[in-house]
């Protein structure tokens, strides 16, 4: 399938979606959202893909936010629809049945920060910048920023960032728990793909089980979360990956995971 606003590729077991509007700093509009959804449809149909990576084309931006040229003429009802469509896409990314990594190579502002937060974790260039600066336009985040940011960095820090519109550097984003790691710009992609390929070497069933347990358990008390985990642990014993992983360990060889319950 041909895309106008993203570059889509599969490298081994790793799918890559690259936002591709560098002339607009990869800003988001409805056409971008449609392209990403279509690419996600392709990925779920490909049984070989085990990890998804998002990044941005060029060396300036991951996604610099929503396209102001699109938003400036929206009516209130159109604005709500745009926000809801964006939120649904981010829910889909968050709940995607495989690990999703954000490789942030530049500005991740507004909608860009929100997209990154919907991923399982974030690697960033030392040149990356993060923020929810919508307040400077007289509006608030609309793709889930007021909700996900507080869950990552705490409500008081989220309020400070959203209310001031501050744009922070990658090292500060790491210090407050927004992102996982910071790398030199020239090694960011290599390091991201190193981790993506390492994860892709693991069992697909176990990867999904870990993601589900951590995500679902975060809204449960500890006892119910652990009960849910033990059920998932037991279910995985029906997977060929469990047999392969344990047999390989006992036979002192590298496992070849091929099973997939999902």
Residues catalogued as catalytic:
114, 134
Q: Extract long-range pairs of 235-243: CB within 8 Å, 24+ residues apart.
A: 235/209, 235/261, 236/205, 236/206, 236/209, 236/261, 239/203, 239/205, 239/206, 241/203, 241/204, 241/205, 241/206, 242/203, 242/205, 242/206
Residue 154, both tokens: 């705490």
In angstroms, rounded to a whole number, what is the distance separating the alpha carbons of residues 131 and 133? Answer: 6
Q: Residue 129 pairs with which residues in a beta bridge?
A: 107, 169
Residue 57, both tokens: 């084309």
Q: Are 258 and 203 in contact (CB under 8 A)?
A: no
Q: Are 191 and 123 in contact (CB under 8 A)?
A: yes
Q: Which helix (H) or strand (E) element contains residue 131?
A: strand 129-131
In angstroms, rounded to a whole number, what is the distance separating the alpha carbons of residues 222 and 228? Answer: 10
């Amino acid at each position: 399938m041909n895309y106008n606003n993203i570059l889509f590729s599969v490298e081994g077991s790793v799918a890559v979606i690259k936002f591709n509007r560098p002339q607009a700093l990869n800003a988001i509009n409805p056409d971008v959202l449609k392209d990403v959804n279509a690419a996600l449809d392709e990925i779920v149909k490909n049984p070989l893909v085990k990890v998804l990576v998002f990044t941005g084309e060029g060396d300036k931006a991951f996604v610099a936010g929503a396209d102001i040229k699109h938003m400036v003429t929206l009516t209130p009802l159109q604005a709500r629809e745009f926000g809801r469509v964006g939120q649904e896409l981010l829910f889909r990314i968050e709940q995607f049945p495989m690990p999703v990594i954000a490789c942030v190579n530049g500005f991740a502002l507004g909608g860009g920060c929100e997209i990154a937060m919907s991923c399982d974790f974030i690697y960033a260039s030392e040149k990356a910048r993060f923020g929810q600066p919508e307040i400077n336009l007289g509006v608030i985040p609309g793709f889930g920023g007021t909700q996900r940011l507080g869950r990552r960095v705490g409500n008081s820090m989220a309020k400070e960032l959203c209310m001031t519109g501050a744009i922070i550097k990658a090292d500060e984003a790491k210090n407050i728990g927004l992102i996982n790691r910071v790398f030199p710009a020239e090694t960011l992609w290599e390091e991201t793909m190193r981790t993506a390929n390492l994860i892709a070497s693991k069992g697909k069933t176990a990867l999904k089980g870990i993601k589900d347990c951590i995500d679902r358990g975060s809204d449960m008390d500890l006892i119910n979360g652990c009960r849910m985990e033990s059920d998932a642990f037991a279910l995985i014993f029906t997977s060929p990956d469990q047999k392969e992983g344990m047999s390989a360990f006992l036979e002192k060889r590298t496992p070849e995971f091929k099973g997939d319950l999902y």
